[in-house]
Amino acid sequence: MGLARVLHNVYWWLEPRLAPGVQYAQTVFEESLFSVVEAGCQWLDFGCGHALLPDWRASQEEDLTRRPSRLVGVDAERAALCRNRGIRLRVCADGATLPFAGGVFDLVTANMVVEHLPEPETQFREIARVLKPGGRFVFHTPNGTGYPTLLARTLPDNLRGAAARMLEGRAGGEDRFRTFYRANTPARIGDIARNSGFAIDRIELVRSSAMFPLVTPLAAVELLLLRALASRRLSWLRPNLIAVLRKPQ
């Protein structure tokens, strides 16, 4: 058994003991998707990239993509679209001018995309336009006041790139796009939602697994912080958020 495997096992033993109830935020988002993707729906994944779910959740992604009668992915990056493993209908387009008629989708989703939008109100208006009345926009994004975001924003770009490669196994420059964090707090999302024609169903600040699971002492300290973030008083420091917006009938 390699060292990395041992350290991962130590981390997964520590996590429920030091931070009970913590789940990886992508797992929480996956659960949200299974709750909103209905059989026979028309679904648009906005900024779809190369996968709906992390690589190790490929079978769950396959189950999810069988539900809608039509699933379309849109992304401005052609290379990412070409690598997408689960979405058959893919469109390369700017999110500010979606190439779809109005009122055609029941659901629009976005996973780790909203933080990259330079003018989120423009994109939110486009998403509202293509949704049917009663349709939902569900997205997962970093919390703008979460401790990882606050830390990342203090680092120069070259160090952020090194951190991304270390934490997420990315090659240099791969899937790294400029971040703006202009729709990344509940208050800001609320303002943009109202201005773009959405009602707010819910905005949930969520904890996630530690950023440094293989550095056991640091992971233990971070898990204790995550335990403290279960408190509503400290919820503003949670790393991620999931929002569910609805286009009124």
Cα 197 from chain centroid?
Answer: 22
- The per-residue pLDDT for range 159-172, each reduced to its tens digit, is 665 555 555 544 44
Calpha distance 136→170 (Å, rounded): 31
Contact 208, 237 (CB under 8 A): no
For 230, the token pair is 């279960």
Per-residue pLDDT tens over the stretch 17-47 = 999 999 999 999 999 999 999 999 999 999 9
Tokens of 236: 């503003």
What CA–CA distance (Å, rounded) separates 103 from 127?
10
Task: Enumerate the β-bridge partners of residue 105.
Answer: 131
Specify the pTM: 0.92
Enter the DSSP assignment of 138.
E
What domains, with CATH codes, occur in the chain?
27-212+234-246 (3.40.50.150)
